Amino acid sequence: MTVPAADARSRVGDLPIEVVPTTAPLADAERARRMREPGFGRVFSEHMVTIRWTRADGWQDARLGPYGPLVLDPATVALHYGQSVFEGFKVYRGADGSVAAFRPEANAERFRASARRLCLPELPVAVFVEAVDLLVAHDHAWVPTTPGHTLYIRPLLFASEPELVVRPSEECLFVLTAFVAADYFPRGLTPVSVWVADEFVRAAPGGTGAAKCAANYAAGLAAQAAAAEQGCDQVVFLDAVERRWVEELGGMNLVFVRGGEHPTLVTPELTGTLLPGITRDSLITLARDLGLEVEERRISMEEWEADARSGAITEVFACGTAAVLTPVGRVRRGGAEWTIGDGGTGPVTTALRERLIAVQTGSAPDPHGWRREIAPIATG
């Protein structure tokens, strides 16, 4: 679908919004210079949207203004107690120059679910999605033309009340920013290595594993550092109870390919302790569209090791917004180490990655209505 140019809009969903664009826009040459080597989360576009919430008066003071620092009281609740959730999805430029967000409604729904778990207010889906339309309309020129580069949208909602009683905050701030993102793994389709964390747990039953909350990422850092010490790129988290069932990586879901004439995809079922990835969901749908079998079920470490060694598991890949589809080539657990297939990138991984990118960039049909095209603001 295509949404109307957002300049005329003075509302996002049913909220009035004040639109105050920067009075000092960057010159084209300077923007191009900044966009050349963007890294990840370093080169932000020129605007942001903020919306305040108070328990007494709800959502208010929506504003689009220039990107810039926030002023926070040192007693801000989120800084102390981690009451904070975020989202991540991408805006792609198509071959025809069109610009589209990929499934922003799905991220809006997950943002609400994460907020609910953290006792934060739930932003209406229409407000979330139309705030994205407005930001992207203003920062249209920041959507890269370089293949593999995208505009990554980062919605954030945190407890902003400056009072340190441990209870759900009475005040919150929603902040919507966008940054230019290069491939998360700079080696492209080169397979990554993973280390299985037996001693670190990311999420336990009843915990916050299914929420995209700040604390989950902090909790995973020590395991990620241990993986790096073992010479591996990423960490695999297991279930907290038996330390036997594969869950996910620190920032990506995992998919296994059981090869043969009719390959089957197997991915850990959503048990409440892993993040319900939107890339995972999209790939399940695309794989079924392509006639592949997909199973969502538990996968044990014994199955992974034995079936990778026997050749029954032919490919494994990680998937997520930042990582897209990234093959896993090598696995380490304690003293054991094994490769997946020949350690390279398999045909199912390659085909699904190409298919997903083709849908995201509008070069393949979009039967599920996943692309939300956004026009630039009208100028002059």
- Of the candidate spans 9-17, 93-101, 317-325, 363-371, the one that interacts with ligand COI by CB under 6 A turns out to be 317-325
Q: Which is nearer to ligand PLP, 233 or 248 (CB)?
A: 248
Nearest approach in angstroms of CB 275 to ligand PLP is 4
Nearest approach in angstroms of CB 277 to ligand COI is 8
Q: Which is nearer to ligand PLP, 263 or 268 (CB)?
A: 268
Q: Which is nearer to ligand COI, 83 or 114 (CB)?
A: 114
Count, in order, helices (H) and strands (E) of the chain.
Answer: 8, 21
Residue 118 sits at φ, ψ, to 5 deg, of -100, 15
- Of the candidate spans 118-126, 142-150, 251-259, 330-338, the one that interacts with ligand PLP by CB under 6 A turns out to be 251-259
Q: Which of 114, 160, 279, 314 binds ligand PLP (CB under 6 A)?
A: 279
268 binds ligand PLP (CB under 6 A): no
Helix (H) or strand (E) holding 145: none
Where residue 71 falls (left for φ over 0; alpha for ψ -120 to 50; beta otherwise) is: beta
By CB atoms closer than 10 A (0-12, 13-18, 19+), residue 40 is middle
Closest by CA to 203, choosing from 219, 223, 224, 218, is: 219
Kindly give the interhelix angle for 104-117 and 125-138, rounded to the nearest 10 degrees: 130
Kindly give the interhelix angle for 347-360 and 278-289, rounded to the nearest 10 degrees: 110
Helix (H) or strand (E) holding 113: helix 104-117
Q: Which of 38, 155, 277, 341 binds ligand PLP (CB under 6 A)?
A: 277
Q: Which of 82, 251, 327, 341 binds ligand PLP (CB under 6 A)?
A: 251
Nearest approach in angstroms of CB 322 to ligand COI is 3
User: C-alpha dihedral over 4, 101, 208, 331, to 10 degrees?
Assistant: 180
Quick one: what does residue 101 bind among ligand PLP, ligand COI, none, with the CB cut-off 5 to 8 Å set by partner type? none
Number of residues binding to ligand COI, judged by CB under 6 A? 5
Question: Restricting to residues 319-378, which ones interact with ligand COI according to CB under 6 A?
Answer: 320-322
Sign of CA dihedral 345, 349, 351, 355: negative
Residues that bind ligand COI in the complex, under the rule CB under 6 A: 88, 251, 320-322
Residues that bind ligand PLP in the complex, under the rule CB under 6 A: 88, 248, 251-253, 275, 277-280, 320-321
